[in-house]
Structure 1
């Protein structure tokens, strides 16, 4: 064990390289061929399968599982990719426990669903490991589309458009493509630089030119894009973060959980990533859980997620909450931050206890103070840099149908657009469907 594990403050190297390698190993080990056959054999292959309805990309799940069961994982992967070109990532990060697996007939009857996510990973990994790309481009249409944002929605849109024979220029503000898949997902869910490998595989379709370091509003304007391209698809994500808005939030070692996760994701050596001894994460979503669990895995002794509402209102899934507690994270419900205490650097966080009443959330008058040498805030992200002329609704780009915005020739999807559930799989569906609508609009079909 590293001697710095018990050191106060925010420091790197709390654990050894071996400990970190173990801690950040694959959350769910992949199936081997025999395990996949056994798991596939549990599927009833329902005719009116509720799992398909529960999948935002409507993958024909019984079909791909039957294809695995008959020894043709390549065909299974094609069935998956036809609906979800990022099926490999979704197999790793989808909250299957609240989507397809929750709807599984065996879950309803026995409390143990078919492990659809792991079967999907087995099929997609088989094809990707072979370096095979199962699609070819249609003849060139002469049309050119700008896709702004290389996250899940943008990648799915770009691939489908390229497959239709269109030329695509894919712009992204970051140095690397992938969006949240690259920068915002817990490292133990996507080991071995899978996000980049998946993008490289997707780009084998051809017809897509990636331009990194190009941000809308800074390097690109919507007006210029609309003039230069036949259509524009915006998948710019949510680049802003909500402010904590309490006294002391400007202190040293108070940071956005999104930045913490991104720094860890991009670190070449996890021993270089500093983490506190006592960490408090404020928020109740997936980002809060990812930040808290990874703090523990980096060697933090005491990690608490503080959420201002009750357990039922927490947006992180039951599985994720259980994962956090299994890793030693404490979850404190009904705790609303009041101020951060410290002298230049944070030392503690004061919370007010809350309760839900018919008139909404209110504080009870009781308070509690938690020691903290690092505070990570995960209280939501916001849309920034929206071009003039785009109608907004509830702080996101307003869309109708398959992502049509208020401006002709401009579509939007993913987290920046109204609707959906802020999930990778939902973003993929929106990008795919927008591409189909763009194609139909451009080609008059």
Structure 2
């Protein structure tokens, strides 16, 4: 039993175990043998990291489990996490040729089966490259930073990751609910990187504990993988009342003991309809909330949460209130939340991004009685740090050369959520992993060119 599960009250232990069971040996064998091992496999093209899916599945079928796990992790340094959180129905499984005749291969489940085997058998899948004497600093130890570090270590670089949290792994470690992605999975991926000689300095915030200029002066290149910050303010009355929570903080609080009890028995309203809102809602259910509602100012069609997340929330009993805009959080004389005042919305003409703009319906105010409000309306940018670095950006989205991941500073590259938004990048763990690899490759190429010219 994990440390997290052992710290839980008995009534909550089952709630925080993984909801999807792993394949048995027999199920994995049967599923692997269904694969057609396509020569020109569309599933590979659909995977942002380009995992050789037919190859890793064939190795499962033949009993070569280490070879299967190595194939996966070679392409995707956070492949164990992605096996659990990737929207596979939109990516690899969605591209499977068997969709036309039967049902697609359960690629994500097989990926989990192989990487779980590697974890259970304490496999070290890679060896660090011959040292080349060059140093690289990576700011942020999430999926993008870890992927960049792994690739650079294989190429012989001395790599140091500077991570603000007490443990590396970023979103995978702290930001995704444990019943979908247990913390131990992400930490195993961190260990795989550390075993290549990568130094990970935790609880070090660049700009506070170490100057960014120092990193630039003591390293050949710097890769920025800082992700995003907390949920922004709603900018409505009552936001400072007791019982108003940040969804990111709520999820984080359930990933390490002691598990919080401030949601138990409460009527919870979650504001937002992305994956973080779903996580905040399902966490609340598992923490013993009496009732959980999600309110969203647009319709089901416009919600940004993955389909499987939406279905999961509905199965958990989460209620959805569409075309609903909060305008005030109501409290009692003691400063505790008692309700959420909302207004009904309607969709108007499309805005610049193509989405229909929600507009309030006159005289449609109403109150949802609740004891807790969870904010999940996106995440803030680390704009202050980006400004201090003097990097070109668009409202906190660092601008890059999309081929090389190089920023406006030739010594700084960027990957992950820090480059997502404004029509640039994708907000997926697997995309961040690929961006980290790409940044590493182009750092290597730039240094080869520089030293060969000297």
> What's the TM-score once normalised by structure 1's chain length?
0.92
Aligned counterparts of 2:339 and 2:417: Cα–Cα separation in 1:
33
Question: How large is the RMSD of aligned CA atoms in angstroms?
Answer: 1.8
Cα separation, partners in 2 of 1:381 and 1:144, compared to 1, 3 Å: same
Q: Is the 8 A contact 1:350 1:367 kept in 2?
A: yes
Matched, 1:200 2:191: yes
Matched, 1:66 2:58: yes
Specify the SS of the correspondent of 1:382: coil
Matched, 1:184 2:189: no
Specify the SS of the correspondent of 1:339: strand
Cα separation, partners in 2 of 1:273 and 1:29, compared to 1, 3 Å: farther
Q: Deviations 1:384-422 (Å, cap 9, x if unpaired)? A: 222331010243111112310000111010001143221
Aligned counterparts of 1:187 and 1:30: Cα–Cα separation in 2:
15
* Match in the other structure for 1:171: 162
Specify the SS of the correspondent of 2:208: coil
List gaps (5 residues or longer) in structure 2: 1-6, 351-356
* Match in the other structure for 2:4: none
Deviation, structure 1 residue 34: 1.5
* Match in the other structure for 1:390: 391
Q: Deviations 1:162-183 (Å, cap 9, x if unpaired)? A: 1110001110111111111111
Q: Is the 8 A contact 1:170 1:210 kept in 2?
A: yes
Cα separation, partners in 2 of 1:77 and 1:370, compared to 1, 3 Å: same
* Match in the other structure for 1:434: 439
* Match in the other structure for 2:142: 151
Matched, 1:48 2:40: yes
Deviation, structure 1 residue 139: 1.2
Matched, 1:34 2:32: no
Q: Is the 8 A contact 1:276 1:373 kept in 2?
A: no
* Match in the other structure for 2:3: none
* Match in the other structure for 1:5: none
Specify the SS of the correspondent of 1:348: strand
Specify the SS of the correspondent of 1:243: coil
* Match in the other structure for 1:409: 411
* Match in the other structure for 2:374: 376
Q: Deviations 1:29-78 (Å, cap 9, x if unpaired)? A: 11222211111122222222222122111111122111211221221111
Deviation, structure 1 residue 368: 2.9
* Match in the other structure for 2:152: 161
> What's the TM-score once normalised by structure 2's chain length?
0.90
Matched, 1:364 2:365: no
* Match in the other structure for 1:231: 221
Matching of residues 300-319 of structure 1 within 5 Å:
300-319=289-308
Matched, 1:284 2:273: yes
Q: Deviations 1:84-135 (Å, cap 9, x if unpaired)? A: 011111111112122212222223433x321111100111121222222222
Aligned counterparts of 1:137 and 1:157: Cα–Cα separation in 2:
14
Aligned counterparts of 1:405 and 1:390: Cα–Cα separation in 2:
7
Give the number of equivalent residue pairs. 428
* Match in the other structure for 1:222: 212
Matched, 1:324 2:313: yes
Deviation, structure 1 residue 216: 2.0
Q: Is the 8 A contact 2:8 2:258 kept in 1?
A: no
Aligned counterparts of 2:86 and 2:179: Cα–Cα separation in 1:
14
Q: Is the 8 A contact 1:39 1:114 kept in 2?
A: yes
Q: Is the 8 A contact 1:264 1:273 kept in 2?
A: no
Aligned counterparts of 2:417 and 2:80: Cα–Cα separation in 1:
20
* Match in the other structure for 1:4: none
**401-410 or 17-26, larger mean C-alpha shift:** 17-26
Q: Is the 8 A contact 2:263 2:289 kept in 1?
A: no
Cα separation, partners in 2 of 1:67 and 1:47, compared to 1, 3 Å: same
